[in-house]
Amino acid sequence: MSIEPPSHLVIVCCHAIWLGGPAQGFAEEEWLITDFQAGETPTFIEHIKAGLRVLRDDTTAVLLFSGGPTRRETQISEACSYANLAAANSYFAILPAEAEGEGGAAASSRIASEERALDSYSNVLFSILHFWSLYGTWPAKLTIVSHAFKRERLVDCHCQAIRFPLHRVSFVGIDPQGMADGSNKAAIPGVAAAVRHWKRDPHGKGHALSSKRTWRNPWGISQTLFPTHQDRSRSGVRSHMHDEHGHEYLIDGVPQPWSDE
């Protein structure tokens, strides 16, 4: 009997790197974070838990942690570190341990890492492409897990830009305390500015957005959409090479294989 491929892609957008340690992620000093992320590591753990819950509740789902190796201090990717943290905490008992030989093992085997994304746009696009590379099909449904304040950027900007049908997208948003209670007023203008940038430049080709990816790419991770021309051709994805540095982008305004059109 053939096994049906999964149809539901759950993306946990990663924001930092857990280096490992005896506190299993619950001590901030075990993380590589930027100064403005101080106090946010509990939120990153909540994102992991949220993704695991969606995975547990849908046997057609796979969970991809998405994020590249963004720090010079280590070649560990954000995605791999999140996956390591989830495993180190026995999946927070969200994936039932009593089903070790059956449900639990089956659920954890539906977890993988997308290790090239350098921004929120590529969290979405690279995860969809990685899903295809694993299963040879496109997801029928997306669930994106991230900060609640990034919903407009991730869904309305990115999913719309790549022409993934919005009626097939769900979003789970969990904010750090300062954003959740409104006390981090300094961050609010940055949220609006990011949305404006992505609305002006939906695929992040311009300097304002592409330079951030360059800064977050100390290890020179390839940003082409496909490893080979054969894969690109087989996928049916409509893309173009933007410059001689290997930057590849979707062709704007045309349907893609995952679109309804």
Q: Which residues contact 169 (CB under 8 A, 6 or more apart)?
A: 141, 142, 143, 144, 155, 159
Backbone angles phi, psi at 113, to 5 degrees: -125, 135
The vertex-56 CA angle with 52 and 62, nearest 5°, equals: 70
Residue 127: per-residue pLDDT: 98
Sign for the CA dihedral angle at 41, 45, 46, 47 comes to positive
Among the listed residues 42, 43, 47, the one whose alpha carbon sits nearest the alpha carbon of residue 26: 42
Q: At which residue do the structure tokens 């720090």 appear?
A: 71
Residue 97 pLDDT level (bands cut at 50, 70, 90): low
Asked if 31 contacts 97 with a C-beta cutoff of 8 angstroms, the reply is: no
Q: How many CA atoms lie within 13 A of 233 on its CB side?
A: 3
Summarize the confidence of residues 126-146 as an average pLDDT: 98
**Mind listing the pLDDT tens digit for each residue in 172-229?**
999 998 777 776 766 777 889 999 999 999 999 999 999 999 999 999 999 999 999 9
Which DSSP string corresponds to 2-36? Answer: PPPPP-EEEEEE--SEE---TTTT-SGGGEE--GG
Nearest to 196 by CA among 147, 252, 153, 160: 153
Give how far the C-alpha of residue 17 lies from the chain's centroid of Cα atoms, to the nearest Å. Answer: 13
Ramachandran angles phi, psi of 63, nearest 5°: -110, 125
3-state secondary structure (DSSP) of residue 154: helix
Q: What is the pLDDT of residue 101?
A: 46
Paired tokens of 72:
């010079």
Q: What is the pTM of this model?
A: 0.94
